[in-house]
């Protein structure tokens, strides 16, 4: 007696294409594109469902409201860098830790797949609870930069005339990536390291130590 075929778990898609990623991630990716193209108000849940290739009820299986999708996008956009901040060893060599932070931050900005930067300017993000969340994440990142730069100065590695100015300048070198990399870069990792090199070179009292700092950072990264 033959066994009955088992139906796949989950709601069916509107087309027969095999999804390359989970439906929830499909929804987030499609929503990010549509919000950037048409704005939050100009994007309907029907448009999102059609872009993903699912029925509208299937979309509501993952997100009950369109606002929940935008909130999830903001959360996803900040989570990787927040997870990285939790792993920073502030007791270790601040030169190496700062180099790694800059390289990670820039690489993330160059490779994040959802185009989160385009969503940060949406009024629904800037003017409300989501804006508070975005600002809090940015402040946590700035604080990590500030602590490492201050530690480097205290230990005699960095020349820092004004901690606040230096912190915002170094952080801004990475943040500016979003303004010029819209078309992507050939080698994100190499580009991130170039930016980290430039930032550390401006801070180090002895710039001849930069290759040593870079090698230590790369050894930890590869280890």
Domains of the chain, residue spans: 12-64, 77-222
Rounded Cα–Cα distance for residues 81 and 79 (Å): 6
**Between residues 199 and 121, the one the model is more confident about:** 199
Rounded Cα–Cα distance for residues 120 and 3 (Å): 52
Task: Report the percentage of the chain scoring pLDDT > 90.
Answer: 67
Structure-token pair, residue 81: 């860098």
Q: Return the CATH number of 12-64, one of 3.40.50.720, 3.20.20.80, 1.10.10.60, 1.10.760.10.
A: 1.10.10.60
What is the Cβ-side half-sphere exposure of residue 144, based on CA atoms within 13 angstroms? 24
pTM of the entire predicted model: 0.83
- Say what the pLDDT of residue 209 is: 95
For the chain, the farthest-separated pair of C-alpha atoms sits apart, in whole angstroms, at: 82
Is residue 182 very low, low, confident or very high in pLDDT (cuts 50, 70, 90)? low
Q: Is the pLDDT of residue 16 over 50?
A: no
- Say what the pLDDT of residue 22 is: 65
Taking only the tens place, the pLDDT of each residue in 110-140 is 888 787 878 888 999 989 899 999 999 999 9
State mean pLDDT over 48-56: 93
Domain 77-222 has CATH 3.20.20.70: no
């Amino acid at each position: 007696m033959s066994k009955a075929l088992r139906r796949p778990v989950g709601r069916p898609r509107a087309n027969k294409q095999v999804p390359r990623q989970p439906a929830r991630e499909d929804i987030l990716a499609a929503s990010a594109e549509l919000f950037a193209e048409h704005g939050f108000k100009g994007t309907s849940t029907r448009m999102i469902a059609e872009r993903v290739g699912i029925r509208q009820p299937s979309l509501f299986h993952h997100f009950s409201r369109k606002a929940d999708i935008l909130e999830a996008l903001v959360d996803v956009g900040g989570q990787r860098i927040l997870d990285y901040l939790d792993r920073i060893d502030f007791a270790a060599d601040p030169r190496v830790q700062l180099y790694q932070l800059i390289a990670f931050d820039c690489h993330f900005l160059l490779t994040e797949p959802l185009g989160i930067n385009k969503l940060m300017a949406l009024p629904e993000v800037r003017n409300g609870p989501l804006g508070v969340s975005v600002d809090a994440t940015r402040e946590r990142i700035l604080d990590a930069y500030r602590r490492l730069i201050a530690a480097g100065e205290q230990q005699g590695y960095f020349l820092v005339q004004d901690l606040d100015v230096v912190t915002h300048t170094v952080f801004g070198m990475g943040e500016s990536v979003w303004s010029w990399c819209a078309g992507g870069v050939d080698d994100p990792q190499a580009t991130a390291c170039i930016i980290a090199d430039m930032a550390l070179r401006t801070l180090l009292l002895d710039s001849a130590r930069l290759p040593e700092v870079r090698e230590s950072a790369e050894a930890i990264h590869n280890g």
